[in-house]
Amino acid sequence: EKIQHAHGLQITDTTDGQTRNLFVYHESGKEIVDWFNAIRAARYHYLKTTFPAVPEPELIPRITRNFVKEGYMEKTGPKQKEAFKVRWFCLDSQERNLMYFKNPLDAFAQGQVFIGRMDR
């Protein structure tokens, strides 16, 4: 696992287009599950109060974010004149972003690419 701990949790937040990761763990599996459920409940409450007209089935998928794919790939710069560099990539299908990090446990992405058209 990325966190290298059996009771680890990755919390990802995107604010103003910037993604931040926070990695936490606890010796007690129950404690980390309690935190996970509390975070989900807080997120659900936020979504319900911010978007009261949106039906619940549309809000539920937005409570947590699961990255479709994560792993190492190599990338080069936009001019393709630089050497390829190994980076950790995360594909967020919900936000349609492909983010890359220098290391898997970095708090902030070094960059991201929007996948798809902006009008959809």
C-beta atoms surrounding 18 within 10 Å: 10
Q: Is residue 37 in some structural domain? A: yes
Total domains, the chain: 1
SS3 35: helix
* Pairwise CA distance, residues 30 & 36, whole Å: 10
C-beta of residue 69 within 8 angstroms of C-beta of residue 47: no
Q: Identify the CATH number of the domain in which residue 73 sits.
A: 2.30.29
Domain assignment present for 119: no
Three-class SS of residue 62?
helix
Q: How confident is the model at residue 117, as a pLDDT?
A: 67
Query: Would residue 39 count as lying in a domain?
Result: yes
Beta strands in the chain (DSSP E): 8-15, 18-25, 69-75, 85-92, 97-101, 111-114
Is 3 contained in some domain?
no
Exposure string over 36-67, b if 16+ CB within 10 A, otherwise e: eeeeeeeebeebeeeeeeeeeeebeeeeebeb
Averages of pLDDT over runs of 10 residues in the chain (120 residues) are 81 81 90 91 93 92 81 87 91 86 92 76
**Is 109 part of a structural domain of the chain?**
yes
Model confidence, pTM:
0.68
Residue 120 lies in a domain: no
Please state, in angstroms and rounded to a whole number, the distance separating the CA atoms of residues 99 and 70: 10
The answer as to whether 65 is a domain residue is yes
Look at residue 119 in the predicted model and tell me its pLDDT. 62
| Domain span holding position 88 | 8-114
In a domain, 53, yes or no: yes
pLDDT at position 114, please?
87
